[in-house]
Amino acid sequence: MSLQKHQATIRDVTFGENVTVVEPVNLYECTIGSGSFVGPFCEIQKGVVIGSKTRIQSHSFICELVAIGDHCFVGHGVMFINDLFREGGPSGAPEKWQPTHIGNHVSIGSNATILPVRICDRVVIGAGSVVTKDLTRPGVYAGNPARFLREYN
């Protein structure tokens, strides 16, 4: 029996100034903006762009094709999805994956799941929500699927 062992690592990451990373993490081929924070047990995959002054809390997974704006907050255990399993399982083909774009001043509550969508500026997403469609109006959203609750304050 053969064992392949991989160490959690920080590899080929472009960091802005004054970035804080709490290890262990798995960050590779991504960009993290100035003044940002990444908590422990996070994975941020290649091509991901995190804006400035954005906080990524522990146990979050940010897959390829995700861009997160400035002054955002990603709570504990937030999962980003780029493969919708349209063929009944993982496609394994990156050309079938879809992007996610998060605007500026967006807060995502713990354990939310974000499918490939666009989220406009100034949005709050409640803990445990599942975002399945674009959010084009600033405000507070929650539920499964996430629905607009009220204006952003």
Residue 7 lies in a domain: no
For residue 122, pLDDT over 70 is answered with yes
pLDDT in tens, 32-84: 999 999 999 999 999 999 999 999 999 999 999 999 999 999 999 999 999 88
Residue 12 lies in a domain: no
pLDDT the model gives residue 89: 81
Residue 10 lies in a domain: no
Among 2-6, 62-66, 93-97, 98-102, name the one with the lowest average pLDDT: 2-6
For residue 90, pLDDT over 90 is answered with no
User: What does each C-alpha distance from 39 to 20, 57, 109, 115 come to in angstroms?
Assistant: 8, 5, 15, 22
Number of domains in the chain: 1
Q: Are strands 147-150 and 139-142 parallel, antiparallel or unpaired?
A: antiparallel
The pTM of this model reads: 0.94
Residue 87 lies in a domain: yes
Residue 58 lies in a domain: yes
pLDDT the model gives residue 3: 86
Residue 59 lies in a domain: yes
Residue 128 lies in a domain: yes
Residue 79 lies in a domain: yes
The CATH code of the domain that includes 109 is 2.160.10.10
Q: Percentages helix, strand, coil for the chain, rounded to the nearest 5?
A: 0, 35, 65
Identify the domain containing residue 73 by its residue range. Answer: 28-150
